[in-house]
Amino acid sequence: MADTPVLLSGGNPQIAKGYGDAPVQAYIAAMPGWKRDVGHRLDTLIEKTVPGVRKAVKWNSPFYGVEEGSWFLNLHCFDKYIKVAFFRGTSLRPVPPVTSKSQDTRYFHIHENDTLDEAQFAVWVKQASALPGERM
C-alpha cells in the first residue's frame, strides 16, 4: 500500500519532517504493534502535562517543546523498545535511568511488557519543559 510508511532499521517509522500535531500523529499511527498504543499514551500525557506543547517530526522522530525551535524531549522506536530522550535529563529528579553519549541527555526505555509509571513520566515531562530546550 503506497500510503503505508516505511519502517526503518529497528522498526522506526519514516515520516517526513513537519511541524505541528499532524506529522506527530502520523508517526504515532505508523508505530508498529504495541508501540502505537504506548505512543498515543505518551503523546496524551505530554499534552496534558504541558498545555500548548509544540510538536514536530524531525529525523524520523517526534519532538516536543515549549518555544519555537527548542525541544525538551523526543521519541524513537527500536525493535524491542521505545526510547524517550530527555535532552536536559541530567537536571531531572530523579534522573532518568539510561545514560547517553551526550553529556546532558538521559533516556527512558519502554519495553512491551513494562508498566508505565505515568505519574513519574509526567513529573519528568513537567521538569523538562521548564528547562532551557535544545535548539535543533
21-69 confidence digits (pLDDT tens): 999 999 999 999 999 999 999 999 999 999 999 999 999 999 999 988 8
pTM of the model: 0.93
Predicted local confidence at residue 3, as pLDDT: 64
- The number of C-alpha atoms within 13 Å of 136 and in the hemisphere containing its C-beta is 19
> In the CATH scheme, what is the code of domain 9-130?
3.90.1150.200
Structural contact between residues 73 and 85, judged by C-beta atoms closer than 8 angstroms: yes
Coil, helix or strand at residue 17: coil
Domain boundaries, the chain: 9-130
pLDDT at residue 92 tops 50? yes
- Least confident range of 3-7, 24-28, 81-85, 117-121: 3-7
- Sheet with 18-19: strands ordered across: 18-19, 54-58, 61-65, 73-77, 81-86, 106-111
64-86 confidence digits (pLDDT tens): 999 888 999 999 999 999 999 99
Give mean pLDDT, residues 89-111. 96
CA dist., res. 71 & res. 64, Å (int): 5
Where is 107: in which H helix or E strand?
Answer: strand 106-111
Predicted local confidence at residue 2, as pLDDT: 46
